Amino acid sequence: MKAIIMAAGVGSRISRHVDKPKCLLEIEGKSIIRRTVEMLLKNNIEPFVVVGYQHKQIENNLADLSITTLYNPFFRVTNSLGSLWFAKNYIPNNEDLLLMNADVFWEQDIMEIILEEDREALLLADSSLVRLNEGDYFFGCKENKIVKYGKDLAREIRTHEYVGICKIQRSFLKYFKAMMEKLIEAEEYGCWWEDILYRCSADKDVFVRDVAGHFWAEVDYIEDYERIMDFVWKRKELQLQQLRNKK
């Protein structure tokens, strides 16, 4: 299996707080993107990282790992669809594919969930009430299939918040690549890579897998990073308490 990680964006909503790509924010001494790449490698998944903004910093952070980096020099004038286009030759024909955003903190528990999935096209999402009230990008689903999507989706329609990770089975990739080429030919460079799947959902089933109850965070704002740090600190405190109780 291969994985393509989108790490080219500027991250304008958090840039006033940090002076580096947000995927390089550290959790317990290790960057968010490095944690993801190491997890992929541990699960025998081959990572490809598309970089752009301050790309040398990301490349240096991952230099000792067995990965391929691809450079999108137009990261300021294209959205992530453009970044995926630079990785088009690495989209497999005979393997399943993971696609993800580099600023997502997630761990092995969610990895195991997505690896067990065999539906053709699937996006991870979260149905937690707090996510539906305070999230960033939403799905409206029926029978776990996407029927509505958007940042401004009306509250009564929302069923999930999007996580930032998807899995595409090899049998679906020809449709996925055809739609990507269609968007590029139409010069829709402002699209996200996820828009490929949203467009596909008009004719093909695109599913969601609910990960409510599992911790994850996409770092759009400094508060998202602080929430990760709080989660990690509380988990460490719990582990220490459990060790004390065993003594």
What pLDDT score does 17 carry?
66
Could you tell me if residue 68 is inside a domain?
yes
Could you tell me if residue 233 is inside a domain?
no
Q: Is the pLDDT of residue 231 over 90?
A: yes
Could you tell me if residue 57 is inside a domain?
yes
State pTM to two decimals.
Answer: 0.95
Structural domain containing residue 83:
2-221
Of the candidates 92, 30, 85, 42, which has an alpha carbon nearest to the alpha carbon of residue 67? 42
Could you tell me if residue 235 is inside a domain?
no
What pLDDT score does 114 carry?
98
Could you tell me if residue 164 is inside a domain?
yes
Rounded Cα distance, 149 and 139, in Å: 4
pLDDT in tens, 52-83: 999 999 999 999 999 999 999 999 999 999 99
Token readout for 19 is 């002076």
84-113: average pLDDT = 97
Report CA 116 to chain centroid distance, whole Å. 17
DSSP 94: S
Rounded Cα distance, 95 and 168, in Å: 9
Q: Is 152 exposed, middle or buried (0-12, 13-18, 19+ CB in 10 A)?
A: exposed
Residue type, 74: F
Say which residues have a Cβ less than 8 Å from residue 40's Cβ, sequence separation at least 6: 3, 46, 47, 98
Could you tell me if residue 242 is inside a domain?
no
Residue type, 68: T
Q: Give the CATH number of the domain where residue 189 resides.
A: 3.90.550.10
H-state helical runs in the chain: 32-42, 55-61, 80-86, 108-115, 129-134, 173-185, 194-200, 222-246
Count of Cβ atoms closer than 10 Å to residue 15 Cβ: 13
Structure confidence at residue 131 as a pLDDT band (50, 70, 90): very high
Count of domains forming the chain: 1
pLDDT in tens, 170-215: 999 999 999 999 999 999 999 999 999 999 999 999 999 999 999 9
Average pLDDT, the chain: 95
Could you tell me if residue 192 is inside a domain?
yes
Q: Judge contact between 117 and 98, C-beta under 8 A.
A: no
Q: Is the pLDDT of residue 15 over 80?
A: no
What pLDDT score does 19 carry?
76
Residue type, 118: D
pLDDT in tens, 133-160: 999 999 999 999 999 999 999 999 999 9
